């Protein structure tokens, strides 16, 4: 195909994307209306069925593969060319709580102006729909898929994808491909496209202390009976202090700092510190950081320890005088290459024992390894150029991002270069109330994915 033919075809695909927009917003509403909260195993099987049905409606052979946890929805359709592109997405969502902070019903797609609201409308149902819409538009224009397309849509990403490495190992041939588009993508605060090349790992644990068989009157036991809430507070305070340095011996041993090339990518990134302060309503960043490369490096090239939740004793209104027998904390560690969740748990256990907290139990809930794709792969450059054409400017390249996902087996088991594409924006409020996407971003995400499909056929 000549450059001119390619350009002309892409314009016809873009036009088809705009023509079919309302249909795909409807399909997005259909998918968001099915709750699928993996943390609570709520609506998971129903949402897997719906996803398979929607793929079949688009001409894909779809299967629901058991994994031991949430099933994986696998879809495949043949194309004219030899190459195979794999879409990795997930149909599960975060819990919608706190419900009282939502302005619209979380499981009803609601359009206000050019913005669409629902739990999962960005993460990750909206992103999944951009793939379906892009593939359909390309097929409508070309009469067929130009390459083989595969979907790997999992249902436990929001709880750390515990069964995904195993599922990939079990079906390695089925998922074989030449490249992968990852679950998310979109723009930064200034509207520039982003291209993500790596993700931090995750080690998610629950700490629990049980000091007595029943709660005690605080007047009776305050000086005598061990208090689970105090034990938990003291144990947590040994893990990290206000200097933000994680105090678990050995924790940083396998954490590699940013390379010169990473730092060059970071230096080219715009400073979005002001937008971030405004979005989260905070007066300043941790450790007095004010922005610049220092902030961007800290954001991703450092491992973290975050308390996700605390729970103990009486939490209702007013005063209840009770000495709690039980207390729990949810804590996640974000890991950088080459830390692994498997090494962190025993280090944490040894640390708590050494600090005098053998009574604090550690339950490993979820984890994934950190991973980075090879930025020199031609497919990565293809995606970057396609984004430049759709968004009218070179994308921001992120050598590593703060979030986590099961990227490791896709890169290291299936051997795929992995790029990003999609409809997200920095105010999408993923994981928070009033999650949203904007329709212009939705259209651009579809266009970008469509260009990757058509250009990968010619690469």
- Tell which one of 220, 267, 350, 354 touches a copy of itself (CB under 8 A): 220
Q: Which of residues 331-360 bind a copy of itself (CB under 8 A)?
A: 332, 334, 356
Rounded least distance, CB 49 to a copy of itself, Å: 22
According to the binding rule CB under 8 A, does residue 290 interact with a copy of itself? no
In the complex with a copy of itself, which residue's Cβ is closer, 6 or 285? 285
**Tokens 């993460």, located at residue:** 123
Rounded least distance, CB 378 to a copy of itself, Å: 29
> Which residue(s) pair with 363 in the sheet?
206
Inter-residue contact 116 to 427 (CB < 8 Å) = no
Binding segment toward a copy of itself, per CB under 8 A, in 47-55, 230-238, 344-352, 411-419 = 230-238
**Tokens 């036009």, located at residue:** 15
* DSSP 3-state of 401: strand
**β 84-90/371-372 pair status:** unpaired
Q: Which of residues 160-219 bind a copy of itself (CB under 8 A)?
A: 160, 200, 202, 204, 211-219
Q: Which of residues 84-103 bind a copy of itself (CB under 8 A)?
A: 94-95, 97, 101
| Residue 189 to residue 185: CA distance in whole angstroms | 13
Rounded least distance, CB 328 to a copy of itself, Å: 8
- Tell which one of 4, 82, 318, 376 touches a copy of itself (CB under 8 A): 318
In the complex with a copy of itself, which residue's Cβ is closer, 254 or 381? 254
* DSSP 3-state of 130: helix
Instruction: Please tell me the count of residues contacting a copy of itself according to CB under 8 A.
Output: 94
H-helix or E-strand spanning residue 37? none
- CA distances 166 to 38, 48, 161, 341, 409, Å, are 18, 19, 10, 16, 9
How many of the other CB atoms lie within 10 Å of CB of 253? 10
Rounded least distance, CB 113 to a copy of itself, Å: 20
- Cα 297 to the chain's mean position, in Å? 19
In the complex with a copy of itself, which residue's Cβ is closer, 236 or 414? 236
- CA distances 23 to 27, 30, 112, 130, 133, Å, are 6, 11, 17, 12, 9
- Tell which one of 118, 137, 299, 382 touches a copy of itself (CB under 8 A): 299
Rounded least distance, CB 299 to a copy of itself, Å: 6
Site string for a copy of itself, 258-277 (x = CB under 8 A): ------------------x-
């Amino acid at each position: 195909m000549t450059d001119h033919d390619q350009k002309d075809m892409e314009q016809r695909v873009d036009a088809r994307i705009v023509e079919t927009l309302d249909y795909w917003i409807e399909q997005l509403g259909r998918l968001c209306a099915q709750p699928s909260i993996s943390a609570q195993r709520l609506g998971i099987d129903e949402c897997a069925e719906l996803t398979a049905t929607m793929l079949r409606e688009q001409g894909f052979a779809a299967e629901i593969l058991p994994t031991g946890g949430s099933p994986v929805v696998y879809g495949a359709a043949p194309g004219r060319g030899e190459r195979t592109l794999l879409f990795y997405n997930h149909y599960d969502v975060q819990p919608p709580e706190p419900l009282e902070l939502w302005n619209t019903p979380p499981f009803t797609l609601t359009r206000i102006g050019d913005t669409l609201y629902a739990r999962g409308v960005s993460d990750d149902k909206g992103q999944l729909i951009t793939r379906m819409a892009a593939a359909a538009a390309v097929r409508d224009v070309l009469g067929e898929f130009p390459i083989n397309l595969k979907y790997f849509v999992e249902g436990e990403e929001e709880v750390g994808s515990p069964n995904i490495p195993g599922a990939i190992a079990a079906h390695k041939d089925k998922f074989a491909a030449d490249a992968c588009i990852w679950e998310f993508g979109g723009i930064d605060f200034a509207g520039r496209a982003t291209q993500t090349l790596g993700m931090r790992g995750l080690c998610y644990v629950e700490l629990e202390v049980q000091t007595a068989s029943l709660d005690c009157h605080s007047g009776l036991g305050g000086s005598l009976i061990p208090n689970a809430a105090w034990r938990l507070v003291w144990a947590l305070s040994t893990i990290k202090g206000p200097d933000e340095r994680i105090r678990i011996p050995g924790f940083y041993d396998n954490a590699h700092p940013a390379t010169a090339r990473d730092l060059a990518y970071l230096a080219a990134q715009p400073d979005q510190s002001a937008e971030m302060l405004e979005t989260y309503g905070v007066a300043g960043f941790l450790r007095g950081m004010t922005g610049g490369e220092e902030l961007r490096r800290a954001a991703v090239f450092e491992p973290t320890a975050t308390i996700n939740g605390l729970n103990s004793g009486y939490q209702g209104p007013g005063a209840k005088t009770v000495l709690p027998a039980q207390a729990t904390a949810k804590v996640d560690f974000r890991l950088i290459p080459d830390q692994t969740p498997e090494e962190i748990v025993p280090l944490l256990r040894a640390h708590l024992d050494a600090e005098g907290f053998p009574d604090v139990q550690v339950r490993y809930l979820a984890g994934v390894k950190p991973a980075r794709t090879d930025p020199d792969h031609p497919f990565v450059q293809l995606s970057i150029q396609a984004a430049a054409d759709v968004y009218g400017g070179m994308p921001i390249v992120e050598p590593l991002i703060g979030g986590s996902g099961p990227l490791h087996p896709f890169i290291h088991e299936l051997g795929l270069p992995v790029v990003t594409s999609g409809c997200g924006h920095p105010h999408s409020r993923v994981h928070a109330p009033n999650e949203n996407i904007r329709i212009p971003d939705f259209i651009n995400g579809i266009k970008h994915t469509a260009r990757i499909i058509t250009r990968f056929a010619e690469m």
